[in-house]
Amino acid sequence: MSGVMPVSLGMVKVFILAGNRPVLVDTGTRGSARRILSGLERHGMKPEDVGLVLITHTHGDHIGSLAEIKKTIKAPVAVHRLDAGALREGSGVEPDILLEDDFDLRQYGAAGRVIWTPGHSRGSVSVMLESGESVVGDLVLPRFMAFGPPAIAFWSASRVDSIASIRKVLALKPAIVHTSHGGPYRPEDLANLVR
């Protein structure tokens, strides 16, 4: 089994990347650990199966349950080096892996890679799987936060970087783009943002 399995936590989603070992993408808001663990269980996975916890960026709705999750999931935590300080400060968790521009996920169980896609935060990253699916965190958000067409968040660290990062994702020709809020979207939906 491979691909992206969203786990809805209400206004935000985390993702399980299936493969030889699951990779958990983000940890939601505080108090979400039980629902995340239930999501793993629903897909026939155990906490000890997880090969990596990947953080797309360090806003509270993406790292809120990291400290709690780490009590059960012992996998290493990866975050971009530019967001590492915010991860330590916001979650109290020391990252195990500091990402740069490109990171192969195969050694952690998923057939794909992580790419640096700054814009929403300086250290935002996205996942590009060989299946054609991508996970872009908050690189794009629904225009109305929970629904609607994709938009660039007005509180992004850099709109210019966001546009460049959307172009970078689109150049890799994803079949579908998963976002942490709303979505998923087709690539052509995102292309309208960068014309």
What is the per-residue pLDDT across 13-58, written as a single tens digit (0 to 9) for each? 999 999 999 999 999 999 999 999 999 999 999 999 999 999 999 9
The neighbour count for residue 101, using CB atoms within 10 Å, is 9
Q: Write down the architecture of domain 3-191 according to CATH.
A: 4-Layer Sandwich (3.60)
Q: How far apart are alpha carbons 54 and 184 in whole angstroms? A: 19
Q: What is the pLDDT of residue 145?
A: 66
Q: What is the pLDDT of residue 146?
A: 66
Q: Around 83, how many Cα atoms within 13 Å sit in the side-chain half-sphere?
A: 30
Residues of the chain with pLDDT under 70: 1-2, 145-146
The alpha carbon of residue 79 and the mean position of all alpha carbons in its chain are separated, in whole angstroms, by 10
Q: What is the pLDDT of residue 154?
A: 76
Instruction: Take residue 194 and report the two structure tokens written for it.
Output: 């960068």
Instruction: Take residue 179 and report the two structure tokens written for it.
Output: 């976002």
Q: What is the pLDDT of residue 144?
A: 74
Q: What is the pLDDT of residue 2?
A: 58
**Dihedral, 30, 185, 149, 82 alpha carbons, nearest 10:** 50
Instruction: Take residue 54 and report the two structure tokens written for it.
Output: 């990947």
What is the longest distance spanned by two Cα atoms in the chain?
Answer: 45
Are the C-beta atoms of 156 and 114 separated by less than 8 Å? no
Q: What is the pLDDT of residue 95?
A: 98
